A and B are shown apart, each in its own frame.
Chain A
Amino acid sequence: MSKQIEGKNLPLAGKISNESYLNRVMFLVLIALFGIASLTIGNYFSTATALNLIANNWYIVILGVGVTFLLVSGHLDMSVGGIVAMAGVLSAYFCQPANEGFSELGQGLGMPYGVAIGLTLVCCLVIGALNALFIAKMRVASIIVTLGTMSIARGVGQVAALGAQRSAGMPDIFGVIGNVPLFGPIKIAAAIAAILVIVALYIEKNTTFGRRTYLIGANREAARLSGIKVERHIALLYLLSSLLAGITGILLASEMKAGISTRGTGFEFSALVVTLLGGASIDGGVGSVLGMVIGAMILGVVSSAAYSMLLRPEWQFILKATVTFLAIIAQRYLLDRRSR
């Protein structure tokens, strides 16, 4: 508008961006929830609880990284849960011994573990490429396409595991990577998640790749007219997301020493929910990896507290939904009030 006011008169909230403002608020919510849980539940306030929080939520965080980048660019990815299941089953199938098992479920392709992992990730990238083709190139709505590829990926998992799971005759190396202990309940998978988050934080804010993601999400047409290769960028994001989902599936299968075809059910929704809890906008242009991690921790605290309060597990869904609704309504309210 017009007249500027001297710095000292500026309201404090005006100095930081909406994103860091929301991140701070959500962090306070996390602390508050943790505090309430600690006060009401005996023994809740302990290192073990904190470590368990990390040990039980790392996979949502890895998936959340890919989903956050996509959501920032204005796209959804509902296929990640299906890819988790497919990757788990395929990685088992590829390295189960050939011509040895008694049943069909014990029969594999007998590949070395490294080759099996590589081939599994290629299969995941094929799903990502399907997403990219239909969404980036042919401009079909992302929700429709990824719901379809979610079914395809899960279907491949179901077929390859004959609707059950592959766990017979697994070579020992299969169970290693998912079970390397670091300290307490934390295994190497959680460390991989942490490294991915740090890398993602850097990419998001300090690279042209991250910036282009925001530009495309904020205004796709303006991004195109500014010389950004929009289609290629969206395709890359879908490939990245499917790759991360593949890694998650392989780690989870290794942890259990089994490729389970029903694994990862609902993960796509959890990943979306934690991203939204972190302040991302479903219309794109807004969101952050840091917020997503805080969101995942909030959801983790809520479910572990519910568990400790001996709430029956079937109530968890309703509890999580309530927290999510409240958090997102609060965010909307705070942002509206801020811009008044």
Chain B
Amino acid sequence: MESNVLEIKGLVKDYPGVRAVNEVSFEIKRNVVHCLVGENGAGKSTLIKILTGACERTCGEITLNGTDYCARNPKEAREKGISTLFQELNVVDQLTVEENLTLGIEDTICGFLRKTDKIKKIIAVLKDLEPSINPKERVSRLSVAKKQIIEIAKAVAAETDIIIMDEPTAALSESEINRLFTIIKRLREKGVTVIYISHRLDEIFTLGDYVTVMRDGKHVATKPIAEVKDRSELVQMMIGKTVIESYTPKEKPAEELLLELKDVCNHKLRNVSLRVNRGEIVGFYGLIGAGKTELARAIYGADDYSGEIRLNGEKLGKSPEKTIRAGIALVPEERRTQGLFTLLTIKQNISAMNLKRISKLGMINAMQERNTAKDYIARLNIKTDSMDKETSKLSGGNQQKVVFSKCLFANADLLILDEPTRGIDVGAKAEIYAMVRGLVEQGKTILFFSSELPEILNSCDRIFLLYEGEIKAELQNGIDINSQDIIHIVTGGTAS
């Protein structure tokens, strides 16, 4: 048997105007955990799509077990020996574990199901991987982690050569992650190669044997994990430039009250009162469900509330249209469903929040709109070959920059950012942090809502901690800030 299970040579994938995968060549050894890392838009997902048959390559060779490999759809890929554990799991909730395992490969007589040795074999594989799953159990009652194991068992029973795992730990708890890791190590003993994709770099060091780094569609390096010094070396390879900056307290401007909340309550919020001065970056940190998004939306007028919110002393109206006019803009939590018009072009997205500024008496000035788009594409470094490209075709980071452009063009004094860096790559994150600082220097005020503590600590002057819809503490950012205390408070502990 060959020592390489998969060889990729000169692989290219072109989309109109963009080369998503550019001359990628590397090998994957048999019986290893091979990690694939890179920022969003680096070409990982396109590479995986080609392997699983979800899209066609433009040119290049792929060899599986020494023979030429080409799959036209995920089913064909599975038959040829490449199974995939997608983020969206492929199990039928209404059926039992056993029925799911045999789905599509049942033995039948005239359409009636028959119990055969095949089922026993698959269940033996499952028992071997995770004895606690009862084959008669309905899948809807299982956790995400156990559903994953069912899919893995199915792939193993089909004697697959390779299992691709795309961010398998994204929805798992700590103990479930450990169990998954044990299973992955067992797979390696069983002769299965795992291609492991994750944004959590620590996992790669605990789990991986080899790592392949991709950047801008190109292959950067493939080497044994043992030869990678540390995390920062990996980050260096991924982004190609250093970006991490830390918080530097800036000179305090003259105190001028901009935003004031008094006893704001709604279905989630409980008596939120706070004051924000002009020129501040104020962070709001809490776990998922702490009420961050609800607070952001209440200030923006997107949700109803009782109590009072004043901007520059004036009471704010309760609709986005009114708050935008008062000088507020929101970068919403869900980029695709709340922020972006994915069917429309970059140009049309950028002008959407302030059509008045590019029109006169309801008539759009096309020149002005194009110039605006050109300006923001250059200023925010949006990577595209045309301003008339549909935003659905951009990577996450570039989409987020379009949403930012839209809000900046609204010419707001106060910008509310709700999870502005979710699902975007390290490089684009750094650009967004830099932009936030630049905006404050121009006299804007920022409310920064995030569930990632490092970015809150990096960017914000003042931090509010939220728990169960209440503000539990207010901290001034500085050297003496203790992240342990913060975690203690946002998980429900009392402030000391």
Interface string of B330-356 (1 = CB under 8 A from A): 101000011111111100100111011
Interface string of B385-397 (1 = CB under 8 A from A): 1001010000100
Contact present for B364 and A1 (CB under 8 Å): no
CB distance from A185 to the nearest CB of B (A): 36
Contact present for A2 and B340 (CB under 8 Å): no
CB distance from A222 to the nearest CB of B (A): 6
Q: Is B56 in contact with chain A by the CB < 8 A criterion?
A: yes
CB distance from B475 to the nearest CB of A (A): 30
CB distance from A201 to the nearest CB of B (A): 14
Q: Is A46 in contact with chain B by the CB < 8 A criterion?
A: no
B344 is contacted by which of A11, A227, A285 (Cβ under 8 Å)?
A: A285
Tell me the count of chain A residues lying within 8 A, CB to CB, of chain B: 36
Q: Is B55 in contact with chain A by the CB < 8 A criterion?
A: yes
Contact present for B41 and A1 (CB under 8 Å): yes
- Tell me which residues across on chain A come within 8 A of B320, comparing CB atoms: 224-227
Closest A residue, CB atoms, query B369? A211
Contact present for B359 and A207 (CB under 8 Å): yes
- Tell me which residues across on chain B come within 8 A of A5, comparing CB atoms: 14, 17-19, 385
Most A CB contacts (10 A, CB to CB) among B18, B55, B216, B217 go to B18
**Which residues from 1 to 41 on chain A have a C-beta closer than 8 Å to any C-beta of chain B?**
1-5, 7, 10-11, 13-14, 17-18
- Tell me which residues across on chain A come within 8 A of B18, comparing CB atoms: 1-5
B325 is contacted by which of A13, A17, A227 (Cβ under 8 Å)?
A: A227
- Tell me which residues across on chain A come within 8 A of B359, comparing CB atoms: 207-208
Closest B residue, CB atoms, query A6? B385
In the bound complex, CA of A175 to CA of B302 (Å): 53
Tell me the count of chain B residues lying within 8 A, CB to CB, of chain A: 53
Q: Is B15 in contact with chain A by the CB < 8 A criterion?
A: yes
- Tell me which residues across on chain B come within 8 A of A2, comparing CB atoms: 18-20, 22, 41-43, 216-217, 383, 395
Contact present for B355 and A208 (CB under 8 Å): yes
Q: Is B406 in contact with chain A by the CB < 8 A criterion?
A: yes
Contact present for B341 and A215 (CB under 8 Å): yes
Closest A residue, CB atoms, query B334? A221
Known interface pairs A14-B17, A208-B362, A227-B324; A1-B43 also in contact (CB < 8 Å): yes
Q: Is A139 in contact with chain B by the CB < 8 A criterion?
A: no
Contact present for A13 and B16 (CB under 8 Å): yes
- Tell me which residues across on chain B come within 8 A of A130, comparing CB atoms: none
- Tell me which residues across on chain A come within 8 A of B383, comparing CB atoms: 1-2, 4
- Tell me which residues across on chain A come within 8 A of B352, comparing CB atoms: 211, 215, 222-223, 226, 228
A207 is contacted by which of B348, B362, B406 (Cβ under 8 Å)?
A: B362
The number of A-B residue pairs with CB atoms under 8 Å apart is 129
In the bound complex, CA of A218 to CA of B302 (Å): 19
In the bound complex, CA of A222 to CA of B275 (Å): 28
- Tell me which residues across on chain B come within 8 A of A215, comparing CB atoms: 341, 344, 348, 352
Closest A residue, CB atoms, query B406? A226
- Tell me which residues across on chain B come within 8 A of A221, comparing CB atoms: 337-338
Contact present for B343 and A225 (CB under 8 Å): no
Q: Is B113 in contact with chain A by the CB < 8 A criterion?
A: no
In the bound complex, CA of A18 to CA of B41 (Å): 24
In the bound complex, CA of A282 to CA of B340 (Å): 20
Known interface pairs A4-B383, A340-B55; A219-B340 also in contact (CB < 8 Å): yes
Contact present for B330 and A225 (CB under 8 Å): yes
**Which residues from 19 to 37 on chain B have a C-beta closer than 8 Å to any C-beta of chain A?**
19-20, 22
Contact present for B353 and A226 (CB under 8 Å): yes
- Tell me which residues across on chain A come within 8 A of B17, comparing CB atoms: 4-5, 10, 14
Contact present for B321 and A285 (CB under 8 Å): no
- Tell me which residues across on chain A come within 8 A of B1, comparing CB atoms: none
Contact present for B340 and A222 (CB under 8 Å): yes
- Tell me which residues across on chain B come within 8 A of A227, comparing CB atoms: 320-321, 324-325, 353, 410
- Tell me which residues across on chain A come within 8 A of B41, comparing CB atoms: 1-2
Closest B residue, CB atoms, query A14? B16
Q: Is A206 in contact with chain B by the CB < 8 A criterion?
A: yes
Closest B residue, CB atoms, query A216? B341
- Tell me which residues across on chain A come within 8 A of B378, comparing CB atoms: none
Interface string of A195-237 (1 = CB under 8 A from B): 0000000000011110110110111011111111100000000
Q: Residues of A with Cβ closer than 8 Å to B?
A: 1-5, 7, 10-11, 13-14, 17-18, 206-209, 211-212, 214-215, 217-219, 221-229, 285-286, 338, 340
Q: Residues of B with Cβ closer than 8 Å to A?
A: 14-20, 22, 41-43, 46, 55-56, 216-218, 300, 302, 320-321, 324-325, 330, 332, 337-345, 348, 351-353, 355-356, 359, 362-364, 366, 383-385, 388, 390, 395, 406, 410
| 3 closest Cβ pairs, A-B complex | A14-B16, A227-B324, A218-B341
9 contacts between A and B (CB under 8 A): A1-B18, A2-B18, A2-B22, A2-B395, A3-B19, A10-B16, A207-B362, A225-B320, A226-B352
